Structure 1
Amino acid sequence: MTERITNWAGNVVFGAKSVHRPTSVDEVRRLVSSGGPLRVLGSGHSFNRMADTTGGLISLASLPRVFEISANRRSVRVDGGVRYGELAPLLQAEGLALHNTASLPHISVAGAIATATHGSGVLNANLATAVSSIELVTGTGELVTLNRDKPDFSGAVVHLGALGVITALTLDVQPTFDIRQYVYDDIPRASIADSLLDMLADGYSVSLFTDWTGLDANMAWLKRRADDPMSGDWFGAHPADGPRHPVPGMPAANSTEQGGVPGPWHARLPHFRMEFTPSAGEELQSEFHVARSDAPAAIDAIATIRAEVAPVLQVCEIRSIAADDLWLSPNYERDSVALHFTWIADTDAVLPVVGAVQEQLAPLAARPHWGKVFTTAPADLRTLFPRLTDFAALAASFDPAGVFRNEWLDAVLGLDA
């Protein structure tokens, strides 16, 4: 019987006929050389059919772990199956750190890179910008290495699984650092209207959370360097009287430590602890990125439809991300603010609201996060991501027979017209 595999949320049941768990790079090459269709499955933390296939799914979780620090201690080479929550303690033990993390440490490094997943911070670009080298098995079964000095490197890092199987990556690292995390309750709408961009810049990483039942924000999560503590009120908000979970009403036990207690970067920058698995199967997610200067207008736009949004929303997170030069990054050549929607687990109820959100944000050229729920038309994607046509050509050169193609990717690349 075919193994039943779903994504993280369970809203996608993959149509794969087989699931492969190679234990070596040579085995990956043999699998690819035998032909497709194939797709690579990371930690499954996507909410659409990006990783779906009618052929075989490849999980890299069983590859031998690779952890090689460079001689100058400015980079680390890791395997394509490692998760951030596994990598971070190894780096910390060596006195090293990544520049940022996502909210969840449970996700795979290669999968996060492929979709331009990010954390927060006006000076922090997305996680893929830490990549200095990728090693991948292309659609022909060839093992190739791409470095930053290659002309197509900026097109190959955020790759949606279209170029091949990432078997190893090299990431920039820096000396470890400590972070203090603070939570503030009830941020007034007037403060958001007057000072949103100042709020988002007031820390190493800053997130605002709202359930859109009102115009005030429920909470602000500020992550500051340990040598930059804070006290007192914040833009009219008051310090939380205890630990919080990002979703109102959920237990705070699976959230990272708050209250300004200093701790290593990897224990504060994520919102959730590695030893817990939050929200699996209980949510859908969408996210849209606008230019940072358009963030106040984006919030005003969503406020006009909050009566539609709130009934199907668990929480909305507002974060800022620095610009980059990666072709398929939602932050390509523009500093951005992302509005991330965690919806209830009801696709039929959520999809019309996603459409309404997209309609409201369309005048602001909002770019979707590739791994989330969105219904943006392929023609509009080519406008929003100006290098998408170039990427389609790059994908064809790495995978001429379409081994890694699927219906979702064909639609994104405009190849199903």
Structure 2
Amino acid sequence: MTERLRNWAGNIEFGAARVHRPDRVEQVQEIVAGAEKVRVLGTGHSFNPIADTDHDLVSVGGLPADVRIDTERMTVSVAGGVRYGELARRLDAAGYALHNLGSLPHISIAGAVATGTHGSGAGLGNLATAVAGVEIVTGTGELMTLRRGDADFDGAVVALGALGIVVRVTLDLLPRYEISQHVFERLPRAQLDAHWDEIAAAGYSVSLFTAWGGDTVDQVWVKRRDGDAPAPARLFGAEPAAGKRHPIAVMSPVHCTEQGGVPGPWHERLPHFKLEFTPSSGEELQTEYFVARADAAEAFAAVGRVRDVVVPALQICEIRTVAADSLWLSPHYGRDSVALHFTWVPNLDLVLRAVDALEEALAPLGARPHWGKVFRHAPRSARGRDFAALAARLDPRGVFRNAFVERHVLAE
């Protein structure tokens, strides 16, 4: 009987005829060399059919983690299927850190990198910007290594699985650091526009949460590194939270990372949720759009104009910042970005109506979607032709193409 798999949210059922769980890179090479079509599955945290196929689906979660720290180069090499939270604990114990983490520490490294997943921070690039090298099983079954500075490197990092299966990733390291997390509530909406730059730069990493109702932003989470100036008593009219908070006010904060300004290891503060908490599935859908950070106020106004369609589908919206990068398919390619992340109720009809309204409202600002979320349309990348040429070289048989890649990336 064919194994039927679903993604984390439960909204996508993969149509693969065969599911492979290799425990050696050589097995991955054999599978690819003998397959007609292949897609790779990470931890299943995408909300669209980016990983879907009706042929062979390969999970890299069974490959040995094989964590190798290079103290001279300040890098770590690790299997692509390892989750960020698992790697972070090992790095912290050894005295090292990564520059940033996403909201959830449960996502796989290769999957997060391939889709341009990010944390927040006015001067911080997405997670893929820490990549110093990748090992990829290409469409011919060859194992190829690309390093930062190689001609094709910038096209091979955020690649949506369209170039091959990433079996190993090398990441830049920092010395271990600590973070304290402060939550402020009820930021006046007028202050968001008037002081956006200062608010976004109020900490090492800053996230704002709003349900787009009323005249206030619900919460501002400010994560500050050791050595930063003390947190302010008030933040442009927002008051410190009286206790621990969940981004969605009606939900228990028990699984959220420590707040209240208590310092702790970087990997226990940068994510919003604890690694030991396994996020529930089937209770949400997600969408995210990126516009130039300079256009933040216009983007907020655009969302406000369609709030009557957005709010019925919305659980919470998170606003973050991401620094520009040079990775061809990155949603942050060439521009500092503001991220508008929408966590929806699990009602696809409501969600798609909201997505259609948002895409129309944000189109004049050149909005780009997160590759792993629910969206309708993606504008063509400025380096799209270069990426298509790279895909033709590394995957001449089109082994890694699927309907998602064909429509959103490789179509002329």
User: What's the TM-score bracket when you normalise by the shorter of the two chains?
Assistant: over 0.9
Q: What CA distance in whole angstroms lies between the structure 1 residues aligned with 2:353 and 2:309? A: 9
CA contact (8 A) 1:254 1:278 kept: no
Residue 394 of structure 2 corresponds to which residue in structure 1?
398
Question: Could you tell which deviates more after superposition, 353-362 or 220-229?
Answer: 220-229
Aligned partner of 1:393: which letter?
A
User: Pairwise mapping of residues 226-237 of structure 1 onto structure 2 (< 5 A)?
Assistant: 226-228=226-228, 229-237=230-238
Q: What CA distance in whole angstroms lies between the structure 1 residues aligned with 2:202 and 2:150? A: 36
Aligned partner of 1:407: which letter?
A
Aligned partner of 1:118: which letter?
H
CA contact (8 A) 1:66 1:78 kept: yes
User: Pairwise mapping of residues 346-361 of structure 1 onto structure 2 (< 5 A)?
Assistant: 346-361=347-362
Residue 344 of structure 1 corresponds to which residue in structure 2?
345
Q: What CA distance in whole angstroms lies between the structure 2 residues aligned with 1:66 and 1:10? A: 31
Determine helix, strand or coil for the equivalent of 1:300.
Answer: helix
Q: Deviations over 1:211-259 (max 9, x none)?
A: 1122411000000013333141111000001111112211101110000
Residue 388 of structure 1 corresponds to which residue in structure 2?
384
Q: What CA distance in whole angstroms lies between the structure 1 residues aligned with 2:269 and 2:81? A: 23
Residue 97 of structure 1 corresponds to which residue in structure 2?
97
Residue 407 of structure 2 corresponds to which residue in structure 1?
411
Aligned partner of 1:232: which letter?
A
CA contact (8 A) 1:46 1:372 kept: yes
Aligned partner of 1:338: which letter?
A
Aligned partner of 1:308: which letter?
V
Matched, 1:15 2:15: yes
CA contact (8 A) 1:203 1:224 kept: yes
Q: What CA distance in whole angstroms lies between the structure 2 residues aligned with 1:42 and 1:344? A: 24
Residue 316 of structure 1 corresponds to which residue in structure 2?
317
Residue 273 of structure 1 corresponds to which residue in structure 2?
274
Residue 64 of structure 1 corresponds to which residue in structure 2?
64
Residue 108 of structure 1 corresponds to which residue in structure 2?
108
Determine helix, strand or coil for the equivalent of 2:22.
Answer: coil
Residue 290 of structure 1, CA deviation:
0.5
Residue 173 of structure 2 corresponds to which residue in structure 1?
173
CA contact (8 A) 1:389 1:413 kept: no
Taking structure 1 as reference, are residues 215 and 308 closer, same or farther at Cα in structure 2, changes over 3 Å only?
Answer: farther
CA contact (8 A) 1:67 1:76 kept: yes
Q: What CA distance in whole angstroms lies between the structure 2 residues aligned with 1:231 and 1:71? A: 37
CA contact (8 A) 2:21 2:61 kept: yes
RMSD after superposition: 1.1
| Runs (4+) off by over 6 Å | none
Determine helix, strand or coil for the equivalent of 2:49.
Answer: coil
Q: Deviations over 1:277-335 (max 9, x none)?
A: 22421111111100010011100111111121111100000001101000011111111
Determine helix, strand or coil for the equivalent of 1:394.
Answer: helix
Question: Could you tell which deviates more after superposition, 223-232 or 42-51?
Answer: 223-232
CA contact (8 A) 1:215 1:303 kept: no
Aligned partner of 1:115: which letter?
T
Residue 149 of structure 2 corresponds to which residue in structure 1?
149
Residue 204 of structure 2 corresponds to which residue in structure 1?
204
Aligned partner of 2:238: which letter?
A
Q: What CA distance in whole angstroms lies between the structure 1 residues aligned with 2:63 and 2:197? A: 43
Uncovered stretches (5+) of structure 1, i.e. residues with no partner = none
Residue 5 of structure 1, CA deviation:
0.4
Determine helix, strand or coil for the equivalent of 1:254.
Answer: coil
Determine helix, strand or coil for the equivalent of 2:50.
Answer: coil
> TM (normalized to structure 1)?
0.97
CA contact (8 A) 1:288 1:368 kept: yes
User: Pairwise mapping of residues 114-133 of structure 1 onto structure 2 (< 5 A)?
Assistant: 114-133=114-133
Aligned partner of 1:402: which letter?
G
Instruction: Give the share of equivalent positions with the same residue, in percent.
Output: 57
Residue 375 of structure 1, CA deviation:
0.5
Determine helix, strand or coil for the equivalent of 1:134.
Answer: strand
Q: What CA distance in whole angstroms lies between the structure 2 residues aligned with 1:413 and 1:301? A: 26
Residue 260 of structure 1 corresponds to which residue in structure 2?
261
Q: What CA distance in whole angstroms lies between the structure 2 residues aligned with 1:124 and 1:347? A: 33
Aligned partner of 2:130: which letter?
A
Uncovered stretches (5+) of structure 2, i.e. residues with no partner = none
Paired residues in the alignment total: 411
Residue 366 of structure 1 corresponds to which residue in structure 2?
367
Taking structure 1 as reference, are residues 395 and 323 closer, same or farther at Cα in structure 2, changes over 3 Å only?
Answer: same
